[in-house]
Structure 1
Amino acid sequence: MFVDDTREVRDADVSAVAALDEPTRRRLYDHVVRQPGAVSRDEAAAALGLARQTAAFHLDRLADESLLDVVYERRSGRAGPGAGRPAKLYRRSAKQFAVSLPDRRYELAGRLLAQAVEESGATGEPVQQVLHRKAEELGTQLGDMDGAGLLDLLERYGFEPRHDDGAIVLANCPFHALAREHTRTVCGMNLHLLRGVLGGLGETGYEACLSPGPGRCCVRLEPAA
């Protein structure tokens, strides 16, 4: 399982959420997503008391940010010659957006945990053992397929790496809330994830070790012995 969760995706999510800060655009978005079917420019303008040109401009901006999908339909129900041009309609996008500061990756953790529970139930292998294996496999894939160096990859996935006397300290835990309540499970998962990253990158200069401390990730990358 490779998770395509790059900085570019995060930046696109930030841009999309920022687009909703304009009041008229937000009203149009809220109106469209509450409708049972796709909405035309004329319908949206009439519902909110806007000029058609204004509604069209903001609807297209929402579509450009992937907040709305555009579809074309003939509202007359007729087809063939004389049926007229299809109308441009807008509906809620199937795309999901997530923005968090500091960076959090709870979906990644949730997928790993769900896979571990399902495989454990099917095979009888202990859940924790499966979780560690799945986390290391994912880390290996990230390191092998991402194409970035170690620090860039760690930065991209929200760990905020910092050099510290030859070691690499991870200033942010992408699984912070989960790690606080389920420390042993989540920190063990994270440890094996980062071991997999090092293996996938072919990085032999560091080894991932548990080294919990206040205000940072529980894993620290120490110089290899």
Structure 2
Amino acid sequence: MNALSDPEPQRSIDVAAVSALDEPNRRRLYDYVSGRGGPATRDEASDALQIPRQTAAFHLDKLADVGLLDVEFERRTGRSGPGAGRPAKLYRRAERDIRVNLPERSYELAGQLLAQAVDEAESSGESPRTVLARLASQLGHDIGHQTGGSDRQLLETLERCGYEPRVEADDIALVNCPFHKLARTHRQLVCGMNLHLVDGLVTAAECPQRHARLDPRDGYCCVRIGTTTD
């Protein structure tokens, strides 16, 4: 059996990735890089976490070695050619999925919603997209009913759902998409489902000052939660 068909090499990589996060500074660095809207340098990570630059560099490289972070190089001076200096080494959260859900993915949930939508559409005569929107909204309502009406409680619920919410100005940005890989290949369908799910959650949570909208940006979920004054 070759490496492409054998799950053990991938499983070993995933275990190594998770084990790497057992070290406290390494976990803090991973959370810091994951929560940024763009890549981070060693100096930025060192300053943010108040740890020595050498320590930050060591742990960032370890996270890259096990596939949790991607590395890129960029000259941040705006200059090129001789005398421009060496490009800065930048780190961002890796695109690949870790099987232990770092970042958290909910493909099984998406599959259940899609399958149920097809079944109901066949019996009701509605379009599968219409049924999917209703099912996603109902699921969001079920989750939202267990949430209080404050931003803090809404953030806690979104965190439990795997969205990795971050407050940015007046918005609640969702750093992680639980349906990431599906959204890349079926963007309109999956992002629409996700919007109805989050909108149902926010509505049932009785946060009248909040509403969900589609606002796709690099490094974020396609859904963003704004204020009613937007």
Q: Shorter-chain TM-score: what band?
A: 0.5 to 0.7
Alignment partner, residue 219 of structure 1 = 223
- 1:189 equivalent to 2:193? Answer yes
Deviation at 1:203, TM superposition (A): 1.1
**Cα distance per residue 1:122-175 (max 9 Å; x no partner):** 111000000001000000001113679200010001100011111010000000
**Cα distance per residue 1:198-221 (max 9 Å; x no partner):** 111111111100000111100000
**Cα distance per residue 1:2-35 (max 9 Å; x no partner):** xxxxxxxxxxxx9xx98xxxxxxxxxxxxxxxxx
Amino acid at match of 1:144: H
Distance in 2 of aligned mates of 1:121 and 1:129: 12
TM-score by length of 1: 0.55
Query: Tell me, what secondary structure is at the counterpart of 1:217?
Result: coil
- Determine what percentage of the aligned residue pairs are the same residue: 50
- 1:168 equivalent to 2:169? Answer no
Distance in 1 of aligned mates of 2:186 and 2:217: 16
Structure 1 residue aligned with 2:163, among 159, 167, 175? 159
Alignment partner, residue 87 of structure 1 = none
Report which stretch shifted further, 106-115 or 182-191: 106-115
Distance in 2 of aligned mates of 1:150 and 1:192: 16
Amino acid at match of 1:110: G
- 1:198 equivalent to 2:199? Answer no
Query: Tell me, what secondary structure is at the counterpart of 1:113?
Result: helix
Distance in 2 of aligned mates of 1:201 and 1:101: 27
Alignment partner, residue 113 of structure 1 = 114
Q: Which has the larger radius of gyration?
A: 1
Query: Tell me, what secondary structure is at the counterpart of 1:115?
Result: helix
Superposed CA RMSD: 1.9
Alignment of 1:1-225 (within 5 A): 99-145=100-146, 149-225=153-229
Distance in 2 of aligned mates of 1:199 and 1:192: 10
Query: Structure 2 regions of 5+ residues with no counterpart?
Result: 1-14, 20-98
TM-score by length of 2: 0.54
Number of positions where the alignment pairs a residue of Structure 1 with one of Structure 2: 131
